[in-house]
Structure formats: C-alpha cells, structure tokens
Amino acid sequence: MKQKTTLKQLSKELNVSVSTVSKALNNSSEISTKTIKRVKELAKLYGYKPNPVAVSLKRNKTFTIGILIPDILNHFFAKVLHGIEEQASLKGYKIITCLTNESLDKEKEYLEMLEYNKVDGIIAALSKETQVKEDFSHFKNFKSLDKPLVLFDRITDEIDCDKVLVDDQKAAQDVFEYLKEQNRKNIAVVSTLPHLSVIVARLQGVMTSANQTSTNVKTLMISETKDAESKINDFFKNESFDALIGLDETAASIAINAAKHYQVKIPKDLAIVGFTDGLLAKNAYPKMSVVSQHAIELGKNTVKILLERIENKTLKPKRFIQPTTLIKRASSE
Amino acid sequence: MKQKTTLKQLSKELNVSVSTVSKALNNSSEISTKTIKRVKELAKLYGYKPNPVAVSLKRNKTFTIGILIPDILNHFFAKVLHGIEEQASLKGYKIITCLTNESLDKEKEYLEMLEYNKVDGIIAALSKETQVKEDFSHFKNFKSLDKPLVLFDRITDEIDCDKVLVDDQKAAQDVFEYLKEQNRKNIAVVSTLPHLSVIVARLQGVMTSANQTSTNVKTLMISETKDAESKINDFFKNESFDALIGLDETAASIAINAAKHYQVKIPKDLAIVGFTDGLLAKNAYPKMSVVSQHAIELGKNTVKILLERIENKTLKPKRFIQPTTLIKRASSE
DNA sequence: CTGAAAGCGCTTACAG
DNA sequence: CTGAAAGCGCTTACAG
C-alpha cells in the first residue's frame, strides 16, 4: 500500500520545520523564494497532497456542498444536478447528493446530516410533501446557523435566502400566445402535480393570458398520480379542444398518448406543448414542443450564487430568474 | 449563530476530563454507568454531535463513498444511484456523486479527487470512452492503495475487484425465447451503443439462442448516436421482421416510433421488447415490454458488497449477478 | 526568513 | 473507574 506523504515527512527530508514547509506550499511571503522552490520540488516529487480532512478541521471549511433533490428520476432535476456537479467540480467543491424522494421527513433528516457534516452551504429544491404541508421549520433552523442556502425551482417566500427560479409564469404565457397565434381556439391545460409552486405559477401564466384575450380554458388538475392516465383519457373523451398545454412532463406525455388512442391528428387537430425538455419529449411521436428551462445552466448558476454567498455572507439575498426557451417541434407545427 | 457543543465544553460543565466524556459517549466499559448516564444526559440536553471531521482525522475513515456514474440522464443509472443513495444513507455513509459524462479524462480526474478526499471506497460504472479505449490504468492505480472498489454494470475483466452485474446475456436469451414462443419468425436486433460491455453481452445472448434454434436474426448496430433515427428508419424500410429487440432504451424507443411512422401495427405485425424499465418504456404508446434490471435493488446490493469489503478486506473478490425480469406490456402482447 | 508552540475536536494507550 | 498525554495532519500568531 502506497503511503501518503505528510508535511512532517517533507520537513524531515528538507531539514526545515513543518511550519516552514506549510508556509512555503502556501506561498507565504514570509518564506524565501529559495526555500519555497526547494520545498515545492520535493513536494512535487513525492506527489504531496495536503490531507483535506486536516485542512477542514483547521479551517472549519470542507469545500463540500450539500444538495437536496426531490426526485432524480425526474429529468429536469437530473439535468440540474448535472449542471451543479459540473460547476462545483470546476471550482474545487465536492457535492454530497441527497435524494429526498419527495418526502418531508427525509428532507429533515438529510438537512441535519449535512449540517452535522459541516458542508459549506446547501442547494435545495423543496420536496412535494414540504410544499403541500408548508413546513419549513428545518430550513429556518438551518439558516440560523448562518450557513448559506440557495433554493431553486421549488421555492417558498417563507424562507429568506437566495433563490434561483425559472420564469414559469412568463414561459406559460409564451406558450399560450404561441398557440393563439396559430389560431387555436380551445385550449386545455393539464397537470399531474398541481401542488407544486412551479405548476401554480405556470397555471397562473396561462390564466393571465387567457383573461387578457378573453379566451376560455379547460383545466384538468390531477392530484393522485396513479389516476392520471384514466383521468386524461376521460378528459379527451368528454371535452373538445384543439390545443393542450401539459404543465409537467408526465401530463404532456400521457396526453400525447391519449391523442393517439383517440386517433386525434397531431398537430393538425390538436397541438401539444409540454414543459421540460427531457427524454420523453425528444422521444415522443411526433416529437414534442416544450418549454426548455435550461436546467443545466440553471444548475451552474445555482452553484455560482452559492459560492458568491459563501465568500460574502453580508450580501442581500437575491433572486435569479432563469430565462426559458420555447422549443417548437412537430407536436405543434 | 448557534455554537456547536464540543467535548471540551461538556467536560468543563461536568467537571470530568475530556477523555472521560469521550469514553462515556462511546459506551466504554471503563466508565461507570453513573458517569455514562450523567454525560449522556448533558450531551442530549445540548444536542451534542461529535464533529465528524475530527473523527475522520483520528480514525482515518470518512464514512464517505465515491460514486462514478457515466450519465445521470440515463434512467438506468439514475435508478441505480437512487438505490445506492438509499442503502448508503441507511448505513450512515455519505456519497460523493461524480458524473463522468462518459469521458475517460473526467473519470481519471474524479478518481484522483476521491482518493485525495479519503473516501472509504468507490462504486463505479465505466465510462463509454474507457470501455472503448480500454484504458484502466487509473483504476489499477487506485486499487494499489488498498481501498475497496466495486464495479457495476459496465465492467471489465482487466480489473480485479468485486463486481455487480446484470445477467444481460441470460436476459437477452429470455427475451428471444419469449418471442419465439409467440411464433415470431423474423427477429431484428437494434442497438445505439454497441461498444458497451452490456450490449455485447445482450447481443451474445440473442445470438446464442438464435443458433440453438437455427433462427436467422437481423442486426443493426449504430455507433454514431446522431444517425440513430435515420438508420433505424432505413432499417424498417429495407428489412422485414415481426419482432424487434431494442438492446438499449434509446434503440427501442426510436424503433417504436419508426413503427408508428410506417404504420406497422404493434404488437400484431411487430412485437417490440426493450431493455431498461424507464420513463421511455412506461410512457411509450403502446406501453413497452422490457427487461427490468431492477436497478434500484442493484444499487443497494452494490453498497452492501462495498461495505462488506470495507469491513473485511481479505475476502476474495466476488461477482454478484443481479437477476432480471421480463415485464410484458402491450408492445408485445 | 525560520521555527516552536498552540490549537482545530476528537480517540486511545497508558498510568494511577 | 478516571485523567493526562500524545497524536491524527494541518495552519498561524508569535518570537527570535
């Protein structure tokens, strides 16, 4: 087994003190350039790397960020995680990924674990249960430790911290206007996750545009995931519409299948637009138009904001709005 | 800011030494039950939690596992990660998730980072580039540190360590036999990732069964992901078959869309079976039959094996074969 | 410019 | 049964 080099070993070989070695490696101005050179050469030769555990203990800083993700099987979150990971590793931070599985209890548990493990900060999207029960005590508690917290996508006004969010309301308005421009008369809106803050915002966007244009909109909000399929099928049977906005990935995907089931022609008789540019949209038949939330970018931005905050705790909490793009594909044109 | 309680503070309040407090909290037999009780009560009152950074430094153990995942946007890996995370957190281990993005260089970088961060062990699936270039030096290097490594799904014989794998060959044989029982005569096999060890194994399974039954099989192996769609469409145009096995998620999904495009009736004129029970299969129309690799279970098992190895380094490396299940849905019956 | 010493928060072999 | 001391591998204020 290869032995890890330590400062002590280097100092012995170089006949200088451990302090000198440490300072030299950290480019301290106290040390002569000659010594610095000697030290660094030997360190390089031995492939010396400081033990991060010891550095953490001394500096009270772990270069670790805790991430709370509600559901990794959701493409949007997978992409955000991808972005977070990329940006964090670029800046020399590790991430501890915690999957809360949409559960409030797991969220509480993990938050405690992360606190206990001395992460330098936390990035989180609230679990579904947390948003439904509106229990944010654990986050408030965490905030009182004076450690930075950045909330993204699934957020709440109840917690005072940096927030990164998608402009869901505007995105939904864009979709609506796009469909109106196509002269679609009867617009339907479907979601399988009506309790989430993002879905509420999207619905609001649609409704705002609908009111402005005096358009009637049919909505189907399904709170029990398991009924989604039959409810959407019934909706297709009983209502008539020539455009459908799926406020979440699942809703749009089920709808496109329902259309096939009832042999509705897409996009001629029905235009479908979904949210989240994930696998389901790209592999749909026909390919689905969607609002892309630029999830990878969003993940990167979340990390940037957290690191700024770690460096400067006195900044005022801010909101960063991630712009969206409407990707037009065969399901709507 | 809330102040973290330390052993020193407790020892001062209790008028005993730091050593005694430490031993009491660790239930040392050296300490009187009375003292243990006193110490624990105060510790509880103050919500004392040992600083894991200090414990790690002392014990040379971080209770952290490094995870190398080639692509988190792939449903199979997302599910495995889910399982890993669940089992690890159950056993008090944190995970550091690294996404290699199918790149050999990133894999090397991360492996070094994980080593440097003193993880207690590593769980990895090889990146595509690693499998293509057959460069495993970084893993061999890591092994020489005497730290446990468990490889899952994407593995190689070149590295001597514990391995967890899906019985891909057998799974493919099961699929083939299932289709034969349905009296399907012309079986096609398609993959968009022919370089991966798992795909090779699946193809081998199909071929073995085909030889045994003297069945002719048409294969389409696409190595450039971007051509996949047009190649599969051409395949549909030029060849005729009444059953298709998609050796990966994408291949099966594109195939089912091609069938719709050419108005081939599923499952009457064409039965389709894919691999990986992911979103694409569940949301396909008609719903797709697939081989489920029980990814979540697989993730859990990987962690179990790693922790066994951490506790007993002298065990002989073993192979764990995760059984699969054929899930029959509307695309084939 | 260099080094001895203290300390981060723990654990544990040893002494009493 | 309890405690003093050493030590994990670093950093840094202080002295020289």
Distance CA A21, CA A188 (A): 69
CA distances B221 to A10, A264, A280, A283, Å, are: 55, 34, 23, 19
Distance CA A84, CA A297 (A): 9
- Amino acid whose CA is nearest the C1' of D3: B17
CA distances B120 to B62, B92, B212, Å, are: 6, 12, 46
Q: Is A221 exposed, middle or buried (0-12, 13-18, 19+ CB in 10 A)?
A: middle
Distance CA A86, CA A88 (A): 6
Show residues of chain A in contact with B94, CB under 8 Å: 96, 113, 117
Distance CA A27, CA A40 (A): 10
Distance CA B328, CA B94 (A): 37
A 123-162 residues with CB < 8 A to B: 144-146
Show residues of chain A in contact with B85, CB under 8 Å: 97-99
Distance CA B316, CA B307 (A): 14
Q: Verify whether the Cβ–Cβ distance B85 to A99 is below 8 Å.
A: yes
For range A168-183, the mean pLDDT: 96
Helix or strand or coil: residue B209? Answer: helix
- How confident is the model at residue A224, as a pLDDT? 84
CB pairs under 8 A between A and B: 115
Nearest-10 crossing angle of helices A18-25, A33-46 = 90
Q: Is A73 exposed, middle or buried (0-12, 13-18, 19+ CB in 10 A)?
A: middle
Q: Verify whether the Cβ–Cβ distance B89 to A254 is below 8 Å.
A: no
Q: Residue for token digits 């690294």?
A: B98
Q: Verify whether the Cβ–Cβ distance A75 to B279 is below 8 Å.
A: yes
- How confident is the model at residue B2, as a pLDDT? 52
Which domains, from first to last, does chain A contain?
7-50 (no CATH), 59-166+295-323 (3.40.50.2300), 168-293 (3.40.50.2300)
b/e B266-295 (16+ beta carbons within 10 angstroms → b): bbeebbbbbbbbbbbbbbbbbbbbbbbbbb
- Looking at residue A158, its amino acid is E
Q: Verify whether the Cβ–Cβ distance B96 to A98 is below 8 Å.
A: no
Name the nearest CA neighbour of A74 among A249, A255, A273.
Answer: A249
Q: Which of A2, A48, A73, A225 to probe the B interface (max B CBs under 10 A)?
A: A73
Cis, bond preceding A50 (omega within 30 deg of 0): no
Partner residues linked to B191 by β-bridges? B221
- Looking at residue B87, its amino acid is Q
Among chain B residues 6 through 45, which have CB within 7 angstroms of nucleic chain D? 15-20, 23, 29-35
Q: What is the DSSP string of B258-308?
A: HHHHTT--TTTT-EEEEES-SHHHHTSSSPPEEEE--HHHHHHHHHHHHHH
B 95-124 residues with CB < 8 A to A: 95-99, 101, 110, 113, 116-118
Partner residues linked to B166 by β-bridges? B322
Convert the pLDDT of each residue in A73-95 to its tens digit.
888 999 999 999 999 988 888 88
The percent of residues above 90 in pLDDT, for chain B, comes to 71
Q: Torsions phi, psi of B289, nearest 5? A: -70, 140
Q: Which of A55, A72, A300 to probe the B interface (max B CBs under 10 A)?
A: A72
Q: Which of B59, B63, B99, B262 to probe the A interface (max A CBs under 10 A)?
A: B99
Convert the pLDDT of each residue in B260-297 to its tens digit.
999 999 999 999 999 999 999 999 999 999 999 999 99
Show residues of chain A in contact with B285, CB under 8 Å: 256-257, 260-261, 285
B 174-193 residues with CB < 8 A to A: none
Show residues of chain B in contact with A256, CB under 8 Å: 285
- How confident is the model at residue B109, as a pLDDT? 83
Show residues of chain B in contact with A54, CB under 8 Å: 57
Q: Cβ contacts of residue A92 below 8 Å, gap of 6+?
A: A63
- pLDDT of residue B314 exceeding 80: no
Q: Verify whether the Cβ–Cβ distance A95 to B97 is below 8 Å.
A: yes
- pLDDT of residue B163 exceeding 70: yes
Tell me how close the Cα of A212 comes to any Cα of chain B, in angstroms. 35
User: Which bases along strand C come within 7 Å of a protein CB atom?
Assistant: 1-5, 7-15
For range B21-41, the mean pLDDT: 90
Distance CA B300, CA B304 (A): 6
For range B202-214, the mean pLDDT: 95
Q: Mean pLDDT score of chain B, rounded to an integer?
A: 92
Nucleotide with smallest C1' distance to residue A55 CA? D10
Name the nearest CA neighbour of A141 among B25, B96, B93, B47.
Answer: B47
Q: Closest residue of A to B141, CA-based?
A: A2
Joined tokens for residue A73: 């099987």
B226 contact A CB<8A: no
Convert the pLDDT of each residue in A181-203 to its tens digit.
999 999 999 999 998 889 999 99
Helix or strand or coil: residue A83? Answer: helix
Distance CA B273, CA B138 (A): 37
CA atom of B4 to C1′ atom of D15, Å: 33
- How confident is the model at residue B118, as a pLDDT? 85
Show residues of chain A in contact with B98, CB under 8 Å: 85, 89
Nucleotide with smallest C1' distance to residue A36 CA? C1
Q: Cβ contacts of residue A95 below 8 Å, gap of 6+?
A: A64, A65, A66, A67, A84, A85, A88, A89, B96, B97
- How confident is the model at residue A3, as a pLDDT? 61
Q: Residue for token digits 């090397």?
A: B108
B265 contact A CB<8A: no
For range B46-72, the mean pLDDT: 90
Distance CA A56, CA B120 (A): 17
Nucleotide with smallest C1' distance to residue A48 CA? D9
Partner residues linked to A151 by β-bridges? A124, A163
CB B53 within 8 Å of CB A62: yes
Cis, bond preceding A286 (omega within 30 deg of 0): yes
Distance CA A40, CA B41 (A): 50
- What is the distance in angstroms between the CA of the first residue and the CA of the last residue of chain B? 63
Higher pLDDT, A294 or B96: A294
Q: Closest residue of A to B117, CA-based?
A: A52
Distance CA A93, CA B225 (A): 32
Nearest-10 crossing angle of helices A228-238, A249-261 = 50
Q: Residue for token digits 């890993």?
A: B84
- How confident is the model at residue B191, as a pLDDT? 97
- How confident is the model at residue A281, as a pLDDT? 96
User: Which bases along strand D come within 7 Å of a protein CB atom?
Assistant: 1-5, 7-15
Show residues of chain A in contact with B280, CB under 8 Å: 279-280, 283
- How confident is the model at residue A1, as a pLDDT? 42
Q: What is the DSSP string of A127-140?
A: -HHHHHHT--HHHH
Show residues of chain B in contact with A52, CB under 8 Å: 116-118
- How confident is the model at residue B49, as a pLDDT? 87
Q: Which of A2, A53, A78 sits opposite B72 (nearest CB)?
A: A78
Instruction: Please state the three-class secondary structure of A165-206 as a single string.
Output: EECHHHHHHHHHHHHHHCCCCCEEEEECCCCCHHHHHHHHHH
- pLDDT of residue A116 exceeding 90: no
Q: Is A250 exposed, middle or buried (0-12, 13-18, 19+ CB in 10 A)?
A: buried
Task: Verify if strand D has an atom below 7 Å from the CB of B268.
Answer: no
Convert the pLDDT of each residue in A233-292 to its tens digit.
999 999 999 999 999 999 999 999 999 999 999 999 999 999 999 999 999 999 999 999
Convert the pLDDT of each residue in A39-56 to its tens digit.
999 999 988 888 888 988
Distance CA A124, CA A38 (A): 45
- How confident is the model at residue B3, as a pLDDT? 61
Q: Closest residue of A to B64, CA-based?
A: A96
Distance CA B111, CA B106 (A): 8
- How confident is the model at residue A132, as a pLDDT? 92
Nucleotide with smallest C1' distance to residue B55 CA? C10
CB B83 within 8 Å of CB B297: yes
- Amino acid whose CA is nearest the C1' of C9: B54
